[in-house]
Amino acid sequence: MRFFNILNKSVATRTTILVLILVTVLVLVGGMWQVQHVRGIISEETHRQANRSMDGAIRMMDNRISNVETAVNTAAAYADIYATQESRASEMLERLIAFNEDIAAITLMYKENYFPQHGRYFAPTITRDPVSGKLEMDEIGGPENDFCYLETDSNWIYTNLLDRGYWCLPYMDSISTKRAMVSYSVPLHDANGQTYAVLCADVDLRWVQKIVEDAKPYQYSKVMVLSRDSQYVCHPNQEWIQSINAICYARQTKDSDFIDITSRMLRWEKGKDTITKGFLHQSSMVEDSDAASVFYFAPIERVQWSVCFSIPENKIMEGPNQLRSNMLFLLGTLLIAIAIVLNVVIRAQLRPMKMLEESAEDVAKGNFLTKLPEIKTHDEIRHLRDSFEQMQFSLAKYVDELKATTAQKASIVSELKVASDIQMSMLPKTYPPFPERDDIDIFGQLKPAKAVGGDLFDFFIRDEKLMFCIGDVSGKGVPASLVMAVTRALFRSISAHEASPDRIVSSINGAMSENNDSSMFVTLFVGVLDLPTGRLRYANAGHDAPLIIGSEICHLPVDANLPVGIMPDWKYTVQETNIVPQTIIFLYTDGLTEAENIDHNLFGEQRILDIAKTVQRTPRELIDQMTEAVHKYVGEAEQSDDLTMLAIQYTKKQLDVRFQRSITLPNDVNEVPRLAEFVDSVCEAMDFDMGTTMKLNLAIEEAVVNVMNYAYPAGTKGDVNIEAQANDVRLKFVITDSGVPFDPTAKKEVDTTLSAEERSIGGLGIHLVRQIMDSINYERVGGTNVLTLRKKL
């Protein structure tokens, strides 16, 4: 912390550090590139050296193995002279082992009862003492040694089966030498071509260890040799030789890398791989389980062994790592020297700035006429001094203005209160809003986070449609409240003559996007609920999905559209669903879900769902209990966002139809007399007086003729169906046609206060229908225009 305080207060220190950082980055980038270049060269040289060592070790082992093969094969070629005679067999064996130091023991295994006087099995053997080199004669046959079942004498079976020289698997000799061995066996044939004996040369595997140890590329390299049966012929851990199956052990430890490299070795591949595994550390192939090692491996095809060298990468890169350490040390020394020199030079250059600082402190204490130091240079510091002098004179003027501003602040607070009152007055505040209706119940509430807020909601009924919206303006305070007011006004004016929610939102978006220099936007949800049918059409503009609370509780599925005010040409989608009676549509802003408690945890969607499941099902009770739950959850934490909720309950009651009659007419105005007869008959059945009957005739005729003229293009024939229904409360006429979409209610209300010359053409017919009927409603359902006119009884 103290370092950062110094850094913030000292230009010299800050500039020095910035220069040091720049120098450090440049030197480090160049140095690291050089180190990487050296590492690449050393890695390539290590690869070449490892391959040379591998080739040399394999060549030496192959030569030693080849010498044993040649010696045994040569002896087998002349075996008839010696081996067929008991007295001369040992002479052949002695000559063979005496002239080949790689042979640790030589055995002549005869077939059963070849020399009956020696029993069933006879196998003269000469072994070489590993210390003194003295040759000792032995006989490993006898009744207890069955060549077919002795591990060492499986050579008899395979050699006889293959009928050629055979290298057996490495083994621990438990009969003669008691050491790790591998044997080369050659069959001996009699005059009839039948095998009568097997000449077997045992080779001590310790020479393999010596060859690979001598041939390894570096002293710190580790070596192992793997036989074709996955047993180790040579290994840094002597206990693993002929006792550990590499594949099985790797599978037990689930070491996929070691399984892969072992499998490649047993496929007699030649290659290299890099591994960092704890298993290799346990097996003594690497010293550090966290350090990577490079493995080189290649096969000895004559005996089907695979040789492997491991080289620790940290040893390979010891030189580059030391170079890197030296470079970092030199860099540190250089940086210290640069820091000292830079600091001294910069402080000297900034000395006039220090003098100006002392004068500025006097000015800060209120001594605005303090004399500033004279600076003779013409650099930036001189310009700063002159600017500061101008500031001295401005400060005195500013203090006077500040006093006047403070007095104005009290006035601003009062004006904000007035603005808040104006904003709240724009929202619906009378509940229930439509006491004369039995099909809808609404309650809404807005609580701004500041004096004025940016949330809004509104609703009204037009042509038996409940038009409603809820929105949230980006930001808070006065700017948000102004956008809120504009959005609410646009909703009112557009929805007054437009019933499609997507076109309402698109129109609002177009108006809000125009000249939107402040880049403010509004999330908005607009719904149109058809009160006679419960059909809800809606369009969403980036707002939270409303909650539908009925027999089930779920979020209304909404499309992910952009908020209004961002892209003027955005195409908003319209969705629809059916709302069954007694269902509540619960709308809210993110001030509800994102209400924070003192620990900054959010109220969240789940708590809203939990409350909705237990609350009494009326809009006011729902919002009251939701508000209480939020206040209890938030506690003493400050309100972070506007909290707005709107609940709409569809309460339409279904009444029995006691009268129903219909008529279908072609789209021909000459059929109007038939329509009049139909309306007269309905009015007579409803016991209406003459005046009411004439008015209904006028309204229905106007509506039907309107459909005949506009629903079907000129020259197109079509039908217009008129159905009359009545219950105990009202009479309704439902006019349907399958023509082009045509909404007569979309016409703006006619201003009858204007003269005929001032009014626009059209709209008087639908105005007349509105005056006569209690309600008028248009819907486009399944490709059909449906116009419903209602009249209370």
Quote the pLDDT of residue 451: 62
Q: How far apart are CA 677 and CA 663, in angstroms?
A: 10
How confident is residue 151, by pLDDT bands cut at 50, 70 and 90?
very low
Q: pLDDT: is 574 or 336 the higher one?
A: 574
d(CA 355, CA 366): 18
Q: How many CB atoms lie within 10 A of CB 548?
A: 21
**pLDDT exceeds cutoff 90 at 86:** no
- Asked if 185 and 168 count as a contact pair (C-beta separation under 8 A), the reply is yes
Best-predicted range by mean pLDDT among 177-191, 288-302, 348-362, 611-625? 611-625
pLDDT above 90 for 491: yes
SS3 state of residue 368: coil
Res. 80 pLDDT band, cuts 50 70 90: confident
Q: Is the pLDDT of residue 415 over 60?
A: no
In the chain, what are the domains?
Answer: 78-207 (3.30.450.20), 216-316 (3.30.450.20), 361-425 (1.10.8), 429-650 (3.60.40.10), 659-792 (3.30.565.10)
- Which comes out higher in pLDDT, residue 97 or 328? 97
Confidence of residue 287 (pLDDT cuts 50, 70, 90): low
451-467 pLDDT tens trace? 677 889 999 998 889 99
User: Which of 27-31, 154-158, 192-196, 671-675 is the least confident region?
Assistant: 154-158
Residue 701 CA neighbour count, 13 Å, CB half: 18
The pTM assigned to this predicted structure is: 0.46
Backbone phi, psi, residue 126, to 5°? -120, 125
Q: Is the pLDDT of residue 284 over 60?
A: no
For residues 519-544, give the mean pLDDT.
93
pLDDT, tens digit (0-9, with 9 covering 90-100), for 340-358 = 887 777 777 777 777 767 6
- DSSP conformation class of 671: G
Determine the pLDDT at residue 736: 93
Average pLDDT over residues 261-277: 81
Contacts of 225 (CB under 8 A, 6+ apart): 208, 212, 232, 233, 234, 235, 305, 306, 307, 308
Which of 170-184, 370-384, 541-555 has maximum average pLDDT?
Answer: 541-555
What are the angstrom distances between the C-alpha of 90 and each of 186, 204, 771? 17, 21, 136
**pLDDT of the residue at 724:** 92
* pLDDT confidence of residue 28: 78
> Is the pLDDT at 373 greater than 60, yes or no?
yes
pLDDT value of position 646: 96
Distance CA(497)–CA(748), nearest Å, equals 5
150 band by pLDDT with thresholds 50, 70 and 90: very low
- State what percent of residues in the chain have pLDDT above 70: 83
Average pLDDT over residues 234-251: 82
Distance, CA of 384 to chain centre: 51
Which whole number is the average pLDDT over 51-65?
85
Q: How many helices (H) and strands (E) does the chain have?
A: 21, 27
The pLDDT of 498-518, averaged and rounded, is 90
* Mean pLDDT to the nearest integer, 329-348: 79
Q: Which tokens belong to 638?
A: 């400050």
pLDDT higher at 200 or 2: 200
State mean pLDDT over 273-278. 68
Is residue 281 very low, low, confident or very high in pLDDT (cuts 50, 70, 90)?
Answer: very low
Banded pLDDT at 541 (limits 50, 70, 90): very high
DSSP alpha helices (H): ranges in 514-662?
A: 590-593, 604-614, 619-634
SS3 content of the chain, % helix, strand, coil (to 5): 45, 25, 35
